[in-house]
Amino acid sequence: MINAQLKMYVRDYSTPGRIQDAMLYSIEAGGKRVRPILLLATAKAFGASEEKALAVACSLEMIHTYSLIHDDLPAMDDDDLRRGMPTNHRKFDEATAILAGDALLTLSSLIIAEDSHLTDQERVFLIRELSKASGAKGMVGGQMQDMLSENTEVSLEQLENIHRNKTGQLLRFSIIAGAYVGNSTEESLEEMTRMGEALGLIFQIQDDILDVTGDAEVIGKPIGSDEGNAKSTYPKLLGLEGAKRQKERYVQEAQDALRKAGVDQTILSELIDYLSSRDH
Ligand code: GRG
């Protein structure tokens, strides 16, 4: 459902040709759709219909996709592959990749603004919160902090602060947006915010763990190697076992917040466990 809707939005809101091809290339490149799935599952737990949550779920995935396209550019991580395929700028060219990212970013607000299943008040809330989560005090700010911290000594507190912004804010948004379009109370929204924040860190710690275990095998590096990587990670700071313990603390925190939010926990609780033990 998410895949079909994303494709439809890109087709409807862009002109056929190079920009549309570049947008569709990254939208259809086989991402896990973690953020929209979390958003739809949270909305469902709070009694909202899928129609009410689908535009904002797609909007969130568009922002995630744009961030990956730009993150891969030569000026940033300079990566040739993403999800086992050539990165957008390798498949097309740098200018096209920049524009495809820009177009996905701007489209993300437009589809919420035009969604007829949401009230005016909901549209303003969702665009405001998504803009905050992805902007200079959110994901973009976190990316800047991350780049500035390369090749420097980083404390655990600084590392968590970077990830709360860079990765955490979009995951946090997936949870609060889902609760908001449903029938959440102020108290349950607070607990879901706590859950979303913990989930962001769980996701990042597992990402770092996979870099030294699972993923290393796939890309042919020796397991445990962090050769050539100037970035701080949880395993570098805490050791592999320490990183796993830190992740477990956040799993407990996320599960606790979910229990206190007072909704049907089944799918969300399973998603917390899936994200903390995912192998890719
Ligand atoms: C360039 C504005 C700008 C921001 C970049 C999120 C981000 C900020 C960069 C991504 C780099 C990265 C590898 C971050 C670590 C965690 C993460 C977001 C991984 C990718 O997310 P998944 O696993 O990706 O959900 P898929 O491919 O499944 O969509």
Residue spans per domain, the chain: 2-277
Nearest to 9 by CA among 108, 113, 134, 126: 108
The sign of the torsion formed by the CA atoms of 232, 252, 40, 117 equals negative
The pLDDT value given to residue 18: 98
- For residue 261, which amino acid is it? A
Q: What is the mean pLDDT of each run of 10 residues along the chain (280 residues)?
A: 98 98 97 97 96 98 98 98 97 98 98 98 98 98 96 94 97 97 95 97 96 62 51 93 97 97 92 94
Which pTM was predicted? 0.94
Distance 119 CA to ligand 1 centre (A): 31
The pLDDT value given to residue 219: 43
Strand partners, 86: 81
Residues within a 6 A CB radius of ligand 1: 31-32, 34, 67-68, 70-71, 76, 83, 139-140, 143, 166-167, 204, 207
Candidate of 66, 164, 166, 205 to mutate for ligand 1, largest count of ligand atoms within 8 Å of Cβ: 166
Distance 65 CA to ligand 1 centre (A): 8
The pLDDT value given to residue 229: 64
Domain spanning 2-277, CATH architecture: Orthogonal Bundle (1.10)
Q: Annotate the chain with DSSP letters as a single string.
A: -HHHHHHHHHHHTS-TTHHHHHHHHHHTS----HHHHHHHHHHHHTT--HHHHHHHHHHHHHHHHHHHHHHTSTTTT--SEETTEE-HHHHS-HHHHHHHHHHHHHHHHHHHHT-TTS-HHHHHHHHHHHHHHHSTTTHHHHHHHHHHHTTS---HHHHHHHHIIIIIHHHHHHHHHHHHHTT--HHHHHHHHHHHHHHHHHHHHHHHHHHHTHHHHHHTPPTT--TT--S--HHHHHHHHHHHHHHHHHHHHHHHHHHHHTS--HHHHHHHHHHHH---
Minimal-distance CA residue to ligand 1 atom 5: 67
Distance 68 CA to ligand 1 centre (A): 5
Given a contact cutoff of 8 angstroms between Cβ atoms, the answer to whether 239 and 156 are in contact is no
Alpha carbon 149 to chain centroid distance? 21
Q: How far apart are CA 74 and CA 69, in angstroms?
A: 11
The pLDDT value given to residue 243: 97
